[in-house]
Structure 1
């Protein structure tokens, strides 16, 4: 029986463990947190990631998620810049991150062992070092996030995380609204929200500021259009998540070396501007499982995995970074030009979409 060690029990890590376990592997998941689970708020699961989850054997997503309502983008005063309903775009389903994590882990069988409270502090000579132990397996999957210990050991000259120049807030509001959601772009600030299946609303916001600074989402957005102040008022302050936004510099390092695979944020941490970070990790997991359960030896299988996934992730990191730069423009003239171009572009895209549908 083939064996695998998965470092990190975030969504990408547990998705990989599920897929490998269902394929007959003996999998050990190492997680530094004291208990298995996921911290966060809502997550957009795009159709490609829904397909990846199905391939991995995840069931029940349709009962825990709701299709996002077509929305669009507004200015802080509530004026629409572009409505998504005019564009004919595919829509993700919205689910609470913790619910998605539970859906994945509930599928674990006897082939998957999870060890919590284990801190991986090194990787050398093919062995994972954790708490004085040296652990080995046929396959090592580094799903240990932005500041991956395994990635740093494999590529010590890689620059590591890059600060984007802005921070994010996230929260869940228990409030009744008729607004379908969307994003609002201001000068150096953005706010977005979407409905979850239980009727609550997931919201997120960004704000330009120095790394490590502490902000106040209420004062930053309380003068913006309805229902933004209402969403903030209905959110418990202690439940608001606040973190600086980082991504990984390009070019990305190879996702494979010998019998080690990088996955998720450890491989391609990206800014959240496309809502594709966790989705890309799920797609990584499906691709990795497909490659390593095929006839090729593990090093060759991982080379194929890298060839498939790194170009895709590189494009997403670049595009997401560029969207963030445009979205966070804080100059009055620059922001006005941006909004004008988006308004014009939205009208053109809407016209083309209507022609295609007609």
Structure 2
């Protein structure tokens, strides 16, 4: 059996590993000239680490550092919620490029990669699927659309879908080469947020958000000057992190997600995965993790003694409700974090502070109840 994966981001390469493990011959088509990932840090949650390990991708935790839960602060440094006692699940932090490399290292002889291929369309019949680029066609029994939030294949099989929805804010990301003892966490202000966490090599991954119109170009000094202007008077170590980041390495992207309800993930022999299926805002840190778990679920259903149509239907039934909830939850957190009314920010911080204390007490009670007598 042959499969084509369109898109070689984290979700696409995980799907390639997963399908090869099921005995499929896999062709990965990537529009970039080289295979790899750009970006900064990424949080990998325990369920996704487990999914990768089931697919034979090991070493994530060795190449990562556990994110220290430091909590939520205000721009002046005052704590709103201190997280160590919350008893919450903690992800590991890793550079996106490192995670991508760990996954692609698992490619075997059943995986072929073609770079520099821009897919323009897809058509299918009872016997297979044809994927088209400007000057080539590729044929397989199954196509996995892992081509991102502006998926060409999603538009082809769901022409009435609404596509991306602008969140109302932009995001900046960078990695600072600084010596830092602060455990990290997030700081919420009026229409702005800043978060950071350590990577395994000692550098610090940071991200920031700010309310603004979509599509505005950076100012004269570029994204680094824009984000420094917005956050220079916030508590330490935020100014230190910005100063310790090379200006040319600061990334800036307007934040989009997909409209709800999500379209079906499988149509005939074409199946959606990752951002092509359920692009979400980054507020939960679950986007890439959901793509990894998509790939693991798809392989599990394809591995069963099922016909292709039934396997894809079960994949959709498993993954679409879960990811739709994450899209909604992440959107709600973003709206809460980006409130720019001063009075509402005071109310928000007060509610979060009380909620954090209650959660801490409940976590302590659980630990007491679960401890041996």
TM-score, normalisation: structure 2: 0.95
Q: CA deviation at 1:59?
A: 1.4
Question: Which runs of at least 4 in structure 1 moved beyond 3 Å after TM superposition?
Answer: none
- Among 171, 191, 204, the alignment partner of 2:174 is 171
Aligned match of 2:188 = 185
**What are structure 1's unaligned runs of at least 5 residues?**
none
Of 33-42 and 344-353, deviating more is 344-353
> Aligned partners of 1:348 and 1:107: how far apart in 2?
44
Q: Does 1:270 align with 2:280?
A: yes
Aligned match of 1:231 = 241
SS at match of 1:12: helix
SS at match of 1:193: strand
User: What do the CA deviations read for 1:42-71 (whole angstroms, capped 9, x no partner)?
Assistant: 000001111111111101212211111121
- Among 140, 145, 152, the alignment partner of 1:142 is 145
> Aligned partners of 1:131 and 1:292: how far apart in 2?
31
Aligned match of 1:110 = 109
User: What do the CA deviations read for 1:226-251 (whole angstroms, capped 9, x no partner)?
Assistant: 00000000001110010000000000
User: What do the CA deviations read for 1:287-345 (whole angstroms, capped 9, x no partner)?
Assistant: 00111121111111000000000000000000000000000000001111100100111
CA contact (8 A) 2:22 2:302 kept: no
Q: CA deviation at 1:134?
A: 2.2
Aligned match of 1:127 = 130
SS at match of 1:62: coil
Aligned match of 1:255 = 265
CA contact (8 A) 1:167 1:206 kept: yes
> Aligned partners of 1:218 and 1:347: how far apart in 2?
32
Residues 1-358 of structure 1 aligned to structure 2 (within 5 Å)? 2-125=1-124, 126-215=129-218, 216-358=226-368
Alignment RMSD: 0.8
User: What do the CA deviations read for 1:113-153 (whole angstroms, capped 9, x no partner)?
Assistant: 00000000111233211122221211100000000000000
> Aligned partners of 1:179 and 1:352: how far apart in 2?
26
SS at match of 1:177: coil
SS at match of 1:287: helix
> Aligned partners of 1:122 and 1:257: how far apart in 2?
15
CA contact (8 A) 1:22 1:109 kept: no
> Aligned partners of 2:58 and 2:86: how far apart in 1?
30
> Aligned partners of 1:262 and 1:327: how far apart in 2?
30
SS at match of 1:78: coil
> Aligned partners of 1:24 and 1:310: how far apart in 2?
25
CA contact (8 A) 1:246 1:271 kept: yes
SS at match of 1:170: strand
CA contact (8 A) 1:41 1:171 kept: yes
> Aligned partners of 2:55 and 2:307: how far apart in 1?
21
> Aligned partners of 1:291 and 1:277: how far apart in 2?
21
Aligned match of 2:223 = none
**What are structure 2's unaligned runs of at least 5 residues?**
219-225, 369-373
> Aligned partners of 1:56 and 1:91: how far apart in 2?
22
User: Number of aligned pairs?
Assistant: 357
User: What do the CA deviations read for 1:139-196 (whole angstroms, capped 9, x no partner)?
Assistant: 1000000000000000001110000000000000000011010000000000000000
